[in-house]
Amino acid sequence: MILVRSTLFNAAFFGITLIATLVASAVRLISPDHVLAIAMLWARALRLALRVICGIEVEVTGLEHIPPGAALIASRHQSAFDTFIWLTLVPRGCYVFKKELLRIPLFGALIPASGMIAVDRDAGAAAIRTLLRETDRAVSEGRQVVIFPEGTRSEPGSKLVMQPGIAAMASRSGLPVIPVSTNSGSFWGRRSFRKLPGTIRIVIGAPIPAHTERKALMQALERGLTAIDRAQ
């Protein structure tokens, strides 16, 4: 049954994504400001499909830690689930994506159109400058910036080295860092076709002040990102 459900969901995922991409591509030519709204509808449709087809619910705690307006959210990244769920949780989400995604036909052009941030992770100091410049823009627009400090998807229970960009973003923007822990990888694995029924938990921790010394900030962030792991 899980294999059948997973097959149906993957078909729905690609079908919904294709339709949303085509619609958003047309809208981008007429009214670029509405591309984000279509992305949010796409994310809600995927969340619904995940619940109806796979039996995966989403439990979120700590939303009160995210203030209205601009915010800096640093989330654990275990699954493709994490790359769309925030578009259903905050009013104007702004993901930090790897620049390689810009090469995807049609979809790639929608990333900048929706106000997301694309960064070349191999560009060294230039990547940080781009990240900070784009963070300034997103903050001025009142966006909730979502970044995955580990830089890539991790397995449940594993620990990756966090990238320093998050500390620079906090210092530059003056926004506190809001740490997020999740167990999404336990139900939608990193490279897994199977989607297991259950409840994905998203735990939003207390904000870490922007003026926190860098080493202490990164240590506090690591504790926040692994909150679910440590509670088990």
Angle at 50 between CA 44 and CA 54, to 5 degrees: 165
Report d(CA 158, CA 141) in Å as an integer: 35
Please tell me the number of Cα atoms within 13 Å of 147 on its side-chain side: 30
Residue 45 covered by a domain: no
How many domains does the structure of the chain reveal? 1
Over residues 66-99, the pLDDT tens digits come to 998 999 999 999 999 999 999 999 999 999 988 8
Residue 37 covered by a domain: no
> In angstroms, what CA-CA distances link 106 with 18, 25, 63, 73, 94?
10, 7, 33, 27, 19
pLDDT of 125 above 70: yes
**Tokens 């993957």 label which residue?**
10
Q: Which two tokens stand for residue 102?
A: 């810009």
pLDDT, position 128: 87
195: Cβ contacts below 8 Å, ≥ 6 apart: 2, 5, 6, 9, 50, 54, 56, 187, 188
Over residues 179-194, the pLDDT tens digits come to 999 999 999 987 788 8
Residue 113 covered by a domain: yes
pLDDT of 118 above 70: yes
CA 79 to chain CA centroid, nearest Å:
10
Whole-model pTM?
0.92
| Strands 198-204 and 144-147, bridge-based pairing | unpaired
Residue 104 covered by a domain: yes
**Stretch (H or E) spanning 216:** helix 214-225
Residues forming a β-bridge with 56? 198
What is the pLDDT of the chain when averaged over all its residues?
A: 91
With helix as H, strand as E and coil as C, how does 50-111 read?
A: HHHHHCEEEEEECHHHCCCCCEEEEECCCCCCHHHHHHHCCCCEEEEEEHHHHHCCCHHHHH
User: How much is the average pLDDT of 197-211?
Assistant: 96
Residue 5 covered by a domain: no
Compute φ and ψ for 94, nearest 5 degrees: -140, 100
Domain of residue 214 covers 57-231
Residue 12 covered by a domain: no
User: Which amino acid would we find at residue 38?
Assistant: I
Over residues 10-63, the pLDDT tens digits come to 999 999 999 999 999 999 999 999 999 999 999 999 999 999 999 999 999 999
Residue 142 covered by a domain: yes
CA 63 to chain CA centroid, nearest Å:
15
Residue 68 covered by a domain: yes
DSSP secondary structure letters along 119-185: E-TTSTHHHHHHHHHHHHHHHHTT-EEEE-TTSS---TT---PPPTHHHHHHHHH-PPEEEEEE-GG
Which CATH number goes with the domain that contains 157?
3.40.1130.10
pLDDT, position 60: 97
Angle at 22 between CA 20 and CA 27, to 5 degrees: 90
